[in-house]
């Protein structure tokens, strides 16, 4: 297996994908200029008291790409490698994602440069509360609604909700989604991203005549998206042949038991050294023999350097931006179906939308109703994108971007330019 590859600048990648769709749509240059750039980019530098008594200054971002179809919506990630360009790319992808599944939100994203694995829970709470305060000038239940992303979870969302509510003097659950159920979270939110990935993969497999039962699945990333996808695809009858986290990967051609792998990770901090599996590197799980590949970790992992070695027939992008434009071309040329991120992982934001609606009306739905509504939305979006891809003889990413960009352009056009 081969050396790791370095990722492209994700914002350049997002703009390149946008230009390809805009070109195909014959969008005017004036409209392209409006849609190409984020509406707002907020950078905040703020001090946090560490457990040692030291005060460390952190940098965070909140970017709103476009709000013509509704309030801005998008996750917050913590990590040492967070950059403004990454947040800008993720915000743009959120705009297209909400449009492709037809939910009334624009796109946003946030991030803080920090190493959450080296911080205590108390330090993370202080960092979250101060960051929330710093970005409270742009977030709100009717303006911009954050959610979890890499290295943030329902506890972090609870701290954001509490901080924002403390400033207002009463509880405002709809300011953030992905919250615990006890404070206005939604049934089904935790599994929503992976459930959506399963729904669209079922549709893709059906179109290819590939039975999901017995299909071999390899998954990069073992967090909210990846670990839950492993469980759901396993329950569907698939064979999970490989999984990985930041420290490495494991492979067993006869299949791994995802719940045993998760227990092992909880006890040892990583999937590596799982018994009865071959140790492989993080990048190798992208290339092992499998039918379905689910990148569920980070951007820019499938590139011109390794796409030719991908053996899967379906790539279902649970992660945002895992495939570079060059890799897209290589995969398309060898008839690999790539279900693009803005469609494949839209289950998360769709159930976030359900959570927001439930919070605003203070009336909550059961998990069966949520799953049914999610399935309708995901299947409808998949069919629309697949039809467009057939019509234009193009890959599903271009088709999904065309679908989304035309809908945002139409909203921009009909609203008109203020003043």
Cite the active site residues.
109
Applying the rule CB under 6 A, the residues between 253 and 282 that interact with ligand NAD are: 282
345 near ligand NAD, rule: CB under 6 A:
yes
User: With CB under 6 A as the contact rule, which of the stretches 59-67, 216-224, 376-384, 396-404 interacts with ligand NAD?
Assistant: 216-224
Among 17, 201, 320, 358, binds ligand NAD (CB under 6 A): 320
CB 408 within 8 A of CB 339: no
Contacts of 51 (CB under 8 A, 6+ apart): 120, 122, 123
Contacts of 178 (CB under 8 A, 6+ apart): 75, 147, 148, 153, 154, 157, 185, 189, 352, 355
d(CA 186, CA 357): 10
Q: Measured from the CB of residue 371, what is the shortest distance to ligand NAD in angstroms?
A: 15
User: With CB under 6 A as the contact rule, which of the stretches 14-22, 296-304, 393-401, 405-413 interacts with ligand NAD?
Assistant: 296-304
396 near ligand NAD, rule: CB under 6 A:
no
137 vs 260 by CB, closer to ligand NAD: 260
32 vs 356 by CB, closer to ligand NAD: 356
225 near ligand NAD, rule: CB under 6 A:
yes
184 vs 226 by CB, closer to ligand NAD: 226
Site map for ligand NAD, 145-164, x if CB under 6 A?
---xxxx-------------
Site map for ligand NAD, 110-149, x if CB under 6 A?
--------------------------------------xx
319 near ligand NAD, rule: CB under 6 A:
yes
Site map for ligand NAD, 167-206, x if CB under 6 A?
--------------------------x-------------
d(CA 46, CA 38): 23
297 vs 402 by CB, closer to ligand NAD: 297
Q: Cα-Cα-Cα-Cα dihedral of 341, 344, 346, 348, to 10°?
A: -110
Among 348, 388, 397, 398, binds ligand NAD (CB under 6 A): 348
Closest-CA residue to 141 (of 297, 417, 347, 359): 359
Q: Measured from the CB of residue 219, what is the shortest distance to ligand NAD in angstroms?
A: 9
Q: How many residues bind ligand NAD (CB under 6 A)?
A: 23
User: With CB under 6 A as the contact rule, which of the stretches 39-47, 291-299, 323-331, 397-405 interacts with ligand NAD?
Assistant: 291-299
Among 38, 221, 258, 340, binds ligand NAD (CB under 6 A): 221
324 near ligand NAD, rule: CB under 6 A:
no
Q: Measured from the CB of residue 199, what is the shortest distance to ligand NAD in angstroms?
A: 14
Q: Which residues are near ligand NAD by CB under 6 A?
A: 148-151, 193, 220-226, 245-246, 282, 296-298, 318-320, 345, 348
């Amino acid at each position: 297996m081969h050396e790791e590859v370095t990722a492209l600048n994700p914002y350049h990648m997002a703009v390149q994908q946008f230009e390809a769709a805009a070109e195909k749509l014959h969008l005017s240059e004036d409209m392209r200029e409006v849609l190409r750039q984020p509406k707002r980019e907020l950078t905040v530098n703020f001090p946090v008291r560490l457990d040692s008594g030291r005060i460390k200054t952190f940098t965070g971002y909140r970017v709103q790409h476009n709000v013509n179809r509704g309030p801005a919506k998008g996750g917050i990630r913590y990590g040492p490698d967070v950059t403004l360009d990454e947040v800008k790319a993720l915000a743009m992808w959120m705009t297209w994602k909400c449009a492709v599944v037809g939910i009334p939100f624009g796109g946003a994203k946030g991030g803080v440069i920090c190493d959450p694995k080296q911080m205590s829970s108390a330090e993370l709470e202080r960092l979250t509360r101060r960051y929330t305060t710093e970005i409270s000038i742009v977030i709100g239940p009717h303006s911009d609604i954050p959610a979890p992303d890499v290295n943030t979870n329902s506890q972090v969302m609870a701290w954001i909700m509490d901080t924002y509510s403390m400033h207002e003097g009463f509880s405002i659950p709809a300011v953030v989604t992905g919250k615990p159920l006890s404070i206005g979270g939604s049934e089904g939110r935790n599994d929503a991203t992976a459930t959506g990935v399963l729904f669209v993969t079922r549709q893709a497999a059906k179109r290819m005549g590939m039975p999901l039962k017995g299909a071999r699945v390899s998954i990069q990333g073992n967090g909210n998206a990846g670990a839950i996808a492993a469980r759901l695809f396993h329950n569907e009858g698939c064979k999970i042949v490989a999984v990985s986290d930041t420290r490495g990967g494991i492979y067993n051609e006869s299949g791994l038991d995802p719940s045993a792998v998760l227990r092992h990770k909880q006890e040892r901090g990583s999937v590596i050294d799982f018994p009865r599996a071959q140790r492989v590197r993080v990048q190798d799980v992208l290339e092992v023999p499998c039918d379905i590949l689910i990148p569920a970790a980070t951007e820019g992992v499938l590139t011109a350097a390794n796409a030719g070695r991908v053996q899967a027939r379906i790539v279902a992008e649970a992660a945002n931006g895992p495939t570079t434009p060059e890799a897209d071309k290589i995969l398309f040329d060898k008839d690999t179906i790539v279900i693009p991120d803005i469609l494949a992982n839209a289950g998360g934001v769709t159930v976030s939308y359900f959570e927001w609606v439930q919070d605003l009306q203070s009336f909550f739905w059961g998990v069966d109703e949520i799953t049914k509504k999610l399935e309708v939305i995901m299947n409808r979006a998949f069919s629309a994108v697949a039809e467009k891809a057939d019509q234009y003889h193009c890959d599903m990413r271009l088709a999904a971007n065309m679908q989304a960009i035309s809908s945002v352009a139409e909203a921009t056009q009909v609203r008109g330019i203020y003043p």
